[in-house]
Each structure stands twice: as structure tokens, then as C-alpha cells.
């Protein structure tokens, strides 16, 4: 429970602390599936944000935890959506992530977070219209969700890939009002502004991104987004390049 509260804070320090509590929980019960799944999920979040301290250790450890969580709790909707996110960002396996998200929805179709995770997997598979449908559904299910920023960022990505750049800007800004640290929303905001020709604003967002992760380049980002369909990556990278992200 302490780890869950810390994960919601979504800072570099809080995710590290959450993993510390989860390791303590798993030392007491190595087969406690909520802790296994949440730990895998936290490792994935660190990877997204550029907060991973040692990828050579964290990526396989996160995948080990996700695999074990599925072995023990493959009929638990929460385990499924958390491991779907982990598999996506640690194994770069978009298809497997999509399958796990779909199973999570079958078990609990009214879970807003599971619906949103499914939305992310659809967008990555070059099916942005389906992703938008799922993100709207997640927002209807939980209009005041503490993770509304997660839904909004998904909307920004889907709209960007559909060419709805003004909508992408609007949703990215909504996400960042709730969670100014969420790197995905920052990236799509910068790319959208650049594509719209708002170069000064795009440059400001890019500077903020690079302040948080100075070593970020297009090559580094692509290595973290291998699950993203090539068509989507080309559109995304074009916008980021215009905004000033180095090759």
C-alpha cells in the first residue's frame, strides 16, 4: 500500500521508494502477485521517463517480475494491465502487450485504467481511431480519475498520429497540468507545436525535456519505442526533429 501511494506521486524519488517497499513486501512473500506486477509497472515507468539507473539490470528484473506475476495471477485484471505496460516498455513487445490488455478488459470491462492501457496498445499498433475510442471510454468511466493525465496523454498521442495537431496540443497540455513530469505528454506537445509552426513554444518545451533528460536523442528514444509502429514513429520523430531533439 505504501508503494502504491508512492507510485501515484510519480517522481523519480517516489518510484525509487516504491520499488524499495515492493522489494520488502516480496522478501516477506515472494509470490504476492500485486507486488510483483506493481514492481514491474514501476520499472516500466522509470524507463519511459529516462529515470532508469541501470538498464542492464532493471529491464530483465522488471520482465522477470512481470513473468512471475502472470504465472501466479494471469486471471487478475489488475495484474494483466500492469504487466501489459511492463511488457510494452521493457520487452518492446507491442503485440504481447496488446493481448494482455485485451485479457484485462475481458475480466473487468469497467476498469478505466485497463481501458486506457488498451488504448495505448491500439495506438502503438497503428490503430489510433480505436485508441481514441478507448481513451474516451476511460474518461467516461472515471471522469475525475487521479490518473486522468494518463488518459489525456494517450489522447494527445492518438490525435497527433491522426494529424489532429490542435487537439494533440490541447490534450497534452491537459495532461501536463495534472502531471507536469509525464515525459510522453511533453514529447507530443513539443512535436505538435513544431508541426503547427509554433517554433518558439516548441523550443521551450524541448528545453524543459532536455533539462530533465540531457542525454535524450532520437536514437535513444527510438530504442525505447520499438513497439511503436514504423508509421507512427516516422510521424513522431519528424515533429520532435523540428522541435529540436538531436539525432
Complete domains list, the chain, with CATH = 1-109 (1.25.40.10), 112-247 (1.25.40.10)
At residue 80, the pLDDT reads 98
Reading the chain (247 residues) residue by residue, the pLDDT tens digits are: 999 999 999 999 999 999 999 999 999 999 999 999 999 999 999 999 999 989 999 999 999 999 999 999 999 999 999 999 999 999 999 999 999 999 999 999 999 999 999 999 999 999 999 999 999 999 999 999 999 999 999 999 999 999 999 999 999 999 999 999 999 999 999 999 999 999 999 999 999 999 989 999 999 999 999 999 999 999 999 999 999 999 9
Q: Contact at 8 Å (CB) between 185 and 176?
A: yes
Q: Which uninterrupted H or E stretch holds 104?
A: helix 94-107
Closest C-alpha to 74, from 130, 38, 33: 33
Give the model's pLDDT for residue 152: 98
Using N-to-C axis directions, what is the helix angle for 183-195 and 165-178, rounded to 10°?
A: 150
pTM of the model: 0.95
CA of residue 151 relative to chain centroid, distance: 10
Closest listed residue to residue 152, CA positions, set 127, 133, 135, 164:
135
Question: What is residue 160's predicted lDDT score, i.e. its pLDDT?
Answer: 98
Question: What pLDDT does residue 16 have?
Answer: 97
Q: How far is residue 7's CA from residue 12's CA, in Å, rounded to a whole number?
A: 10
What was the pLDDT predicted at 101? 98
Amino acid at each position: 500500500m505504501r508503494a502504491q501511494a508512492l507510485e501515484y506521486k510519480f517522481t523519480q524519488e517516489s518510484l525509487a521508494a516504491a520499488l524499495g517497499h515492493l522489494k520488502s513486501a516480496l522478501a516477506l512473500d515472494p509470490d504476492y502477485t500485486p507486488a510483483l506486477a506493481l514492481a514491474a509497472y514501476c520499472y516500466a515507468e522509470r524507463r519511459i521517463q529516462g529515470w532508469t539507473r541501470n538498464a542492464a539490470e532493471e529491464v530483465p528484473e522488471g520482465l522477470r517480475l512481470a513473468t512471475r506475476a502472470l504465472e501466479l495471477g494471469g486471471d487478475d485484471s489488475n495484474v494483466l494491465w500492469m504487466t501489459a505496460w511492463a511488457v510494452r516498455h521493457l520487452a518492446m513487445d507491442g503485440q504481447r502487450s496488446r493481448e494482455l490488455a485485451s485479457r484485462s478488459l475481458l475480466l473487468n470491462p469497467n476498469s478505466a485504467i485497463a481501458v486506457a492501457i488498451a488504448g495505448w496498445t491500439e495506438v502503438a499498433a497503428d490503430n489510433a481511431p480505436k485508441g481514441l475510442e478507448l481513451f474516451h471510454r476511460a474518461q467516461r468511466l472515471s471522469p475525475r480519475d487521479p490518473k486522468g493525465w494518463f488518459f489525456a496523454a494517450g489522447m494527445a498521442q492518438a490525435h497527433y498520429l491522426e494529424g489532429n495537431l490542435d487537439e494533440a496540443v490541447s490534450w497534452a497540455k491537459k495532461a501536463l497540468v495534472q502531471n507536469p513530469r509525464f515525459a510522453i505528454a511533453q514529447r507530443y506537445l513539443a512535436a505538435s507545436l513544431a508541426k503547427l509552426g509554433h517554433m518558439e513554444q516548441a523550443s521551450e518545451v524541448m528545453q524543459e525535456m532536455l533539462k530533465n533528460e540531457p542525454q535524450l536523442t532520437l536514437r535513444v528514444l527510438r530504442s525505447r519505442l520499438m513497439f511503436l509502429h514504423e508509421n507512427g514513429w516516422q510521424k513522431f520523430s519528424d515533429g520532435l526533429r523540428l522541435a529540436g531533439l538531436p539525432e
